[in-house]
Amino acid sequence: MLRIGSAALAGTVLDAAVSAGPAHAVPLPRTENPVTPAGGPVGRGCYLTFCRIPTAGLNTWKSIMDSFAEDGVERVVLWMGGAFRSRRYPITWQYNRAHRNVVENFAGELIDYAHTRNIRVLLGFTPYTYDGTNQYALVRPDLKAQQSDGKLARLQGIHSWGYNLDPTKADAKRFMLDYARELYFDFYPNADGLLIESSDIDICTGGDCGGARHYYEIEFEFVRRLSDEVWSHNPAADIIVHPNYFVGGPNGAELPYDPRWTVIFSQWTVDLEFAKKVSRAYYFDLNVISQPPANVAESVRWVRDHGFAAYFPSQEFFTFVAQHAEFNETNLVGRRLRPFGFDFLGLDENPYRDPVVTVNRVALREYAGNPDLPDADFRAHLGLAVFGAAATEQNVTDLLFLHDFCYGRDKSLFSLAVPADPRAMRDRLERGLLSFGDLQSIQHRLAALPAVADRIRRSRNPLVRRLIPHTRLIEHNWDHDSRDLLAAHLRA
């Protein structure tokens, strides 16, 4: 059983709600010979796909930077591909032409504001694919990548659906350099550097690309050249790259590492031996946006125990209209996504102020400051942060219950966890992804909800009553038809 609080939680609503087991998550990598643990707090950054949040304006983004500053975040990646009004390649933003930054071009002012909060801002993109870049093949289909079987690249992506490019072709190389130069040198030279995120989906392996290893050798040429140009402009610039260029194996190359690069590892790319050799290693995962606070704490401790310089999780949310089944979630098609899946959150407001979203913000802040923080102390910090000095143990227990309801099982990047969103339940049932035990757990949580909702409504603390929209949303989501569907499957 996943125990988030102290022993005093035994028999509470939260205890009942999580008794079916911990949330699903990719296990952290293990090693028998970890590096010497580093002492003290863990550095922290955050990763945002700015391009997939088209509805937020400058004031909202300033407020978001304020939230990150409160959490001790030192670096923020703003993924800018497809989110600036490129003059040389307007096709890169046509799919995103209503994006507020495409219309208003405020990112430079936002970077300046972040600097007043002691936050360094890095611009993110991926060579030859992903947001914005993958649109170029719509007007230059002759530059599409080839797959290993010789077929042309398939249509794919997130929000920006397009085609990967073939980096062996001169025009593709020229486009990629021009686009990256325009982003950094022409539009936002006040940025503090770049995140160059190496490709990992449907990379060009056929034709002249000659397999994954050779592909990364070609992509490395771009990374090397652009890095040198950026460092000539600003020797202090941060440039974060992925390990694929250096680690070899079936999906990487063995190329020279420049100690000026910071290497960011994820759960699917960790190489602890290589991490020991780099000048700075960061660690990325999705726990802050999709898992319980105990998972955030585990990630922080893993970063500390393996000598990484910083924990650099995703803190992204989305407000675009899904035109495709993102990650095969057919229930999303045609819907405008809402921040963290909460339909009541505005499209142009800071969602990090929401009390349920705040749970993992506090987890990141407090565990990064003290990775060995006792559970009881975390609960005390959480109560104070969300409910003020009048917070009670019951308030914290109810908040964690709702957080577990919304984040604790099968939360996707785009929607709430299955127990909180029956649309997600239907999608998972259609794809055969839910067990009978999963359905029983949903029923168990729903049975516990009325008592929690009643306590929240009756509270005299207005900060506690800020949770009323969350209980109402779950109650609204579970209409008669959804409850009947759940009951029918439980009778099977």
pLDDT one-digit tens code per residue, 304-361 = 999 999 999 999 999 999 999 998 888 899 999 999 999 999 999 999 999 999 999 9
Identify the pLDDT of residue 410: 80
Identify the pLDDT of residue 408: 77
Name 125's bridge partners: 196
d(CA 295, CA 112): 33
Which region holds residue 456: left if phi is over 0, alpha if psi is between -120 and 50, else beta? alpha
CATH 3.20.20.80 residue ranges of the chain are 43-284
3-state SS assignment for residue 47: strand
pLDDT at 415 over 70: yes
What stretches of 221-327 adopt beta strand conformation (E)?
238-241, 261-266, 281-284, 310-311
Q: Closest Cα to residue 257, out of 234, 233, 274?
A: 274
Identify the pLDDT of residue 325: 92
pLDDT one-digit tens code per residue, 149-168 = 889 999 999 999 999 999 99
pLDDT averaged over every residue in the chain: 90
Assigned token pair, 163 = 């085609």
- Strand 160-162 and strand 156-158: the pairing is antiparallel
Band of residue 33 on the pLDDT scale cut at 50, 70, 90? very low
Average pLDDT for residues 179-207, to the nearest whole number? 94
Band of residue 39 on the pLDDT scale cut at 50, 70, 90? low
3-state SS assignment for residue 340: helix
Identify the pLDDT of residue 40: 67
Which of 18 and 399 is assigned the larger pLDDT? 399
Identify the pLDDT of residue 385: 98
Instruction: Let me know if 463 is exposed, middle or buried by CB neighbors in 10 A (0-12, 13-18, 19+).
Output: middle
Identify the pLDDT of residue 200: 80
Band of residue 249 on the pLDDT scale cut at 50, 70, 90? confident
pLDDT at 25 over 50: no
Average pLDDT for residues 438-449, to the nearest whole number? 94
CATH 3.20.20.80: does it fit domain 43-284?
yes
pLDDT at 6 over 80: no
Average pLDDT for residues 74-102, to the nearest whole number? 98
Identify the pLDDT of residue 32: 38
To which residue do tokens 């029918």 refer? Answer: 488
Contact criterion met (CB below 8 Å) for 297 and 270: no
d(CA 458, CA 439): 30
Q: What is the pTM for the complete model shown? A: 0.90
Identify the pLDDT of residue 173: 97
Least confident window among 124-133, 188-197, 323-332, 468-477: 323-332
Contact criterion met (CB below 8 Å) for 159 and 51: yes
Fill in the amino acid letter for 238. D
pLDDT one-digit tens code per residue, 207-236 = 999 999 999 999 999 999 999 999 999 999
